[in-house]
Amino acid sequence: MCGIVGHVSAGPVNQQVYDSLLLVQHRGQDSTGIATADGRTLHQSKKSGQVREAYRTRDMRELLGNIGLGHVRYATKGHATNLDEAQPFYVNAPYGIVLVHNGNLTNTRELTQQMRERDFRHLNSSSDTELLLNVLASSLQDNVGNRHLDADAIFEAVTKVHSRIRGAYGVIALIAGHGLLAFRDPLGIRPLVLGRRQVTEEIAEAARTYRETHGLSDELPEQEWVVASESLVLEAGGYEVVREIAPGEAVFIDEAGRMQSQQCATDTSLVPCAFEYVYLARPDSVMNGISVYEARLRMGEKLAQTVRKHVPDDDFDVVMPIPDSARPAALQVAHTLGKEYREGFYKNRYVGRTFIMPGQEVRQKSVRQKLNAMRSEFEGKKVLIIDDSIVRGTTSKQIVEMAYEAGAVKVAFASAAPPVRYPHVYGINMPNAEELVAHNRSVEDVRKILGCDHLVYLGVEDMAEAIMADTDWDGLEMSCFTGEYVTGDVTEEYLEFVAGDQES
């Protein structure tokens, strides 16, 4: 899980990319990077940590140009602390390309061998993003030769990329002197949305001054474009949501702001990642036509029905969420069950999301720094705590302990997602089944580990119905709940390899 953005602007793009990255910061906090194109010159800045603290004025001044992209990283491949593995990645041939990627490739071993023996390209990291970039560069080189690079040639190259790589990927690439390219995996597992806004006279006035100063064409585009992981980036920036980029589709926007698109994969279907709706995405985003907030409300309603079956009504007085992503579900649980909704946990907003922190030890230390239980809300009460999911159990166990320490008489715990029993290999950091508290354990086993009086999970079918509602999707990527991997290439041997690679 990472956050990616790309902009084609009439004027300077650096601030737009920065502002957009702030809006997807929840998708990654290990590192961040921005790249811009000033004609045929590429500029790049990569930093450790979060966006607001990472960039200085001098960094922004050096990011010249009207086309740019950015990334916030949550490491699922490579090393979280290694800035050499932060995105964007760059290759100088052909043309000069920088690329950002959200997701995970599942055939990295084969691709690495091909890079060495067939493509004769050097890899300088263990990142699958660098692999993806070199596959794209090699496909462009094979396809174009001495031919002028146009949209048709780019789309042919993306078709080759789809034929070579497997897994989940949302990609944005900047091709120096040409424009911005974006494409999405053929199953639409990872999200990518396209937006535009008209160039107003206010925008045009600032853009003309900038373009004249930097020797750019004085012909302004009629529209500015943005591609991003989540729709909230578009709405906050005043962009119209054009549409989701379709599974397997590629979109190319040239330097003059002309947009072209083409389907580049032969076998496509829409099977979005369920975990986006459970936890990853911000509630104010709309993904694949479904409001994340409304999906979480529906999950809460179905969870309430499950709680009613398994927890005696007099075993809890109040319903409390774990802030922030569990709030919609908890509100709906309280409303459906006719119980009082209370906020018992105060969140320290200066500590990042514990689920996406790199390493179990760091997560364990961060839970009590992140959350504080208010004694006045717990003392003498029987509480039902709602969380969006239970993954490793680290956070949940400490939350239960905090509730009892704050004076709760009884603690019931409910997850608005099913038990996470299997590794996730499509861009979420759950590569090792042994780290998952529900792996090879019953609900009762997990309850004893967490130390609560009752434990309730939402069912898989209930979750799928709540998320998909009345959509015409082809399915939902739920591998971490069901063990069924939609790309069809994930074997037990591969899962053992991924788990071992993560440990090393």
pTM of the predicted protein model: 0.93
- Under 8 Å between Cβ of 393 and 364: no
Q: Which residues contact 74 (CB under 8 A, 6 or more apart)?
A: 1, 2, 27, 28, 29, 30, 356, 429
**Is 357 strand, coil or helix?**
coil
The active-site residue out of 2, 264, 273, 480 is: 2
**Is 435 strand, coil or helix?**
helix
CA angle centred on 410, ends 407 and 414, rounded to 5°: 115
Pull the structure tokens for residue 5: 């953005």
CATH no. for 3-263? 3.60.20.10
pLDDT of the chain along its 504 residues, tens only?
799 999 999 999 999 999 999 999 999 999 999 999 998 999 999 999 999 999 999 999 999 999 999 999 986 555 555 788 899 999 998 999 999 999 999 999 999 999 999 999 999 998 999 999 999 999 999 866 656 789 999 999 999 999 999 999 999 999 999 999 999 999 999 999 999 999 988 888 888 888 788 777 777 888 999 999 999 999 999 999 999 999 999 999 999 899 999 999 999 999 999 999 999 999 999 999 999 999 999 999 999 999 999 999 999 999 999 998 999 999 999 999 999 999 999 988 666 555 545 555 545 556 778 899 999 999 999 999 999 999 999 999 999 999 999 999 999 999 999 999 999 999 988 889 999 999 999 999 999 999 999 999 999 999 999 999 989 999 999 999 999 999 999 999 999 998 887 654
Q: Which amino acid is at 261?
A: S
Q: Which residues contact 494 (CB under 8 A, 6 or more apart)?
A: 106, 425
Name the percent of the chain in helix, strand, coil, to the closest 5: 40, 25, 40
Helices 128-144 and 151-164 cross at an angle (nearest 10°) of 130
Taking the CA atoms of residue 206, residue 212, residue 213 and residue 216 in that order, the dihedral angle to the nearest 10 degrees is 110
Q: What are the residue ranges spanned by the domains of the chain? A: 3-263, 276-503
**Distance between CA 28 and CA 101 in Å, rounded?**
12
Q: Which amino acid is at 149?
A: L
User: Phi and psi of 21, rounded to 5°?
Assistant: -65, -35
Helices 394-405 and 360-370 cross at an angle (nearest 10°) of 30
317 known ligand binder: no
Pull the structure tokens for residue 466: 């709540």
Radius of gyration of the chain (CA): 23
**Distance between CA 504 and CA 495 in Å, rounded?**
14
325 known ligand binder: yes
388 known ligand binder: yes
**Is 210 strand, coil or helix?**
helix
Which element (helix H / strand E) includes 308?
A: helix 292-310
**Distance between CA 249 and CA 247 in Å, rounded?**
6
Q: Which residues contact 184 (CB under 8 A, 6 or more apart)?
A: 169, 170, 171, 190, 192, 245, 246, 247, 248, 249
Burial of 231 (0-12, 13-18, 19+ CB in 10 A): buried
* CATH T-level topology, domain 276-503: Rossmann fold (3.40.50)
Which element (helix H / strand E) includes 242?
A: strand 240-244
Pull the structure tokens for residue 41: 């010159």
| Residue 20: closest CA among 31, 8, 6 | 6
Active site residue 2: yes
